[in-house]
């Protein structure tokens, strides 16, 4: 499945951002073991490109391991070279089409959403989602009913449920899911949080 198809099925995008490359890699692999199908490694992660490269080698070329915090075409080139299977931006970024991978492009306002779509975005990373919350997504769904939105920013388990109930394609979850695992924190606690978010994404009670 490509990124949008995967998110439509699994409804969850994990975002890994850490200071310890080895711990970040362990976090990616643990999330994959726990059934999180789409994992983004932010380029703000220490040695992010190596983490992406090693994760793709460990998990196989079919794994949906992407690169986040893509702010330029140069970032995109480096990420795709490292093996990123999709790109996630925090804002509008031009020149990503030549890299041939799906893009979830950051946008917040209606004008930004239209611009992101014109730039070829496959999905809209609604960011920062915490600014307007689920109510803002509800307001956007009326003029943009067909747009695949992925709210990101401050998405805890309750917000995730609310966004998904309001028609979000998926939710992007960073620290409420990953916690301190990418800095060397407890992986068992990461597994427990992953189980909670997987149930929420599946429409079950955690």
**Integer CA distances (angstroms), 89 to 42, 103, 122, 135, in order:** 10, 8, 12, 23
Catalytic residue among 33, 34, 40, 199: 40
Tell me, yes or no, if 19 is annotated catalytic: no
Q: Tokens representing 199? A: 């149930």
CB atoms within 10 A of CB 175: 14
Is residue 53 part of the annotated active site? The answer reads no
Q: Are 97 and 115 in contact (CB under 8 A)?
A: no
- CB count within 10 Å of CB 136 equals 16
Residue tagged active-site, from 81, 125, 138, 146: 125
Of 177, 190, 179, nearest in space to 12 by CA? 177
Give the contacts of 101 (CB within 8 A, at least 6 positions apart): 66, 80, 84, 85, 86, 87
Active site residues: 40, 125
């Amino acid at each position: 499945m490509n990124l949008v198809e995967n998110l439509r099925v699994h409804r969850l995008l994990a975002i890994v951002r850490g200071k310890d490359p080895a711990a970040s890699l362990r976090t990616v692999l643990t999330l994959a073991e726990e059934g999180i199908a789409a994992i983004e490694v932010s380029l703000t992660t220490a040695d992010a490109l190596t983490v992406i490269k090693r994760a793709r080698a460990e998990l196989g070329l079919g794994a949906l391991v992407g690169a986040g915090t893509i702010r330029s075409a140069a970032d995109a080139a480096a990420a795709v070279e490292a093996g990123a299977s999709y790109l996630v931006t925090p804002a509008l970024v031009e020149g990503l089409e030549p890299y041939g991978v799906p893009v979830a492009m950051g946008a917040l306002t209606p004008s930004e959403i239209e611009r992101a779509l014109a730039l070829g975005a496959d999905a809209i990373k609604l960011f920062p989602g915490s600014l307007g919350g689920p109510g803002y997504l509800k307001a956007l769904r009326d003029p943009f009913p067909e747009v695949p939105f992925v709210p990101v920013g401050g998405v805890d388990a309750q917000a995730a449920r609310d966004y998904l109930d309001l028609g979000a394609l998926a939710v992007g979850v960073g620290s409420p899911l990953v916690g301190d695992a990418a800095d060397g924190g407890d992986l068992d606690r990461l597994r427990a949080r992953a189980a909670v978010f997987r149930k929420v994404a599946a429409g079950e009670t955690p």
